[in-house]
Structure 1
Amino acid sequence: MIVKNVTFYIKSQYVKEFIEATLKNQKCSLKEEGIKSFNFLQDCDDASKFLLHEVYESENDMQKHLETEHFKEWINTVEEYFLSPREKCVYLPVSK
């Protein structure tokens, strides 16, 4: 299992468009083999701050996601909406 959290700060005039595009990407992503969950969250205190919490079965599945047509369409659409660069963190399970 591999978990990726990506935080986005969106220009206020593009919040609605970002939500629409990301919901479409989420719907397509959840159909991919190897994706265990794909959560899209909005900050309670800052309506222009969002989090994608993605859980993959493997690092290979995470890389395959980045090569899908729906991801490429999404990133090409929303990149102009970013107020600042994305903040990405990737996590692996801690084993005993």
Structure 2
Amino acid sequence: MFCIIVKTQLKPNQRENFLEAMLPNAAASVRDEPGCHVFDVLEDQQDANLFYLYEIYRDESALADHKQTPHYKTCREVVNPLIEHQSVVRAEVLATNQA
């Protein structure tokens, strides 16, 4: 499996606009994409404008497929102008552990 961790620093006062677009995108990704296993949206405890997206895909091609979906494209149109800075970590998933 393949994982990306996206660190997103928003411009000031854009938290609600970001979440309005990102939360439905995350839900649709897991619900509608067979290759998307996890799409978690995490908020930093000390900075309300800092978010992390934790996404697990079957493989890199499933991530490429994700970027072609209508929900992804709609979300990106909204969130791109809200972002101050964004970085991505790409990793292989060795194990997932859930309670």
The total of aligned residue pairs comes to 93
Q: 2:13: which partner in 1?
A: 13
**Equivalence for 2:26:** 26
Matched-pair identity in %: 28
- Counterparts in 2 of 1:1-96, with a 5 A limit? 1-31=1-31, 32-84=33-85, 86-93=86-93
How far, CA to CA, are the matches of 2:14 and 2:21 in structure 1? Answer: 11
Kindly provide the amino acid, as one letter, of the partner of residue 47 in structure 2: D
> Which consecutive aligned stretches of 4+ in structure 1 deviate over 3 angstroms post-superposition?
none
SS in 2 for 1:40: strand
User: What is the distance in 1 between the residues matched to 2:84 and 2:93?
Assistant: 31
Structure 1 stretches lacking a partner, 5+ long: none
- Structure 2 CA distance for aligned equivalents of residues 17 and 79 of structure 1: 11
1: CA distance, partners of 2:12 / 2:43: 13
Q: How large is the Cα RMSD of the aligned pairs? A: 1.0
Cα offset, 1:72, TM superposition? 0.6
TM-score (norm 2): 0.89
Q: Which has the higher strand share?
A: 2
Alpha-carbon distance in 2 for matches of 1:8, 1:80: 12
Structure 2: gaps of 5 or more residues: 95-99
Report the CA distance between 1:79 and its aligned residue.
Answer: 0.5
